[in-house]
């Protein structure tokens, strides 16, 4: 089992075997996902832009205009005061 030590600044070095298994390189980001209380999974957070294609596409929706966005922002700002 791979292990790491936390530095006084809260940093760790991810062991080589873990980096290789996750396909991580220098500069990649990771996320810590809580599985249950006291247990976390380390998940690569970097993805190719190509993997994101179509992820948020919903052809049934009409695109929102800048004016509609500004109106929604103004409504939320007014409601938060």
pLDDT at position 57: 63
The mean pLDDT value of the chain amounts to: 84
Q: What integer is the mean pLDDT of 62-66?
A: 85
**What DSSP character marks residue 63?**
P
Higher pLDDT, 78 or 47: 78
pLDDT at position 62: 77
pLDDT above 70 as % of the chain: 80
Residue 50 has pLDDT above 70, yes or no: no
Domains and CATH numbers, the chain: 16-79 (2.10.260)
- At residue 17, φ and ψ (nearest 5 deg) are -60, -35
pLDDT at position 13: 93
């Amino acid at each position: 089992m791979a292990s790491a030590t936390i530095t006084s600044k809260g940093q760790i070095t991810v062991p080589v075997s873990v980096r290789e298994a996750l396909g991580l390189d220098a500069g990649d980001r990771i996320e810590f996902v809580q599985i249950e209380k006291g247990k976390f999974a380390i998940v690569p957070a970097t993805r190719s832009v190509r993997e994101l294609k179509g992820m948020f596409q919903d052809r049934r929706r009409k695109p929102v205009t800048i004016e509609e966005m500004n109106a929604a922002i103004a409504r939320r700002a007014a409601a938060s005061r």
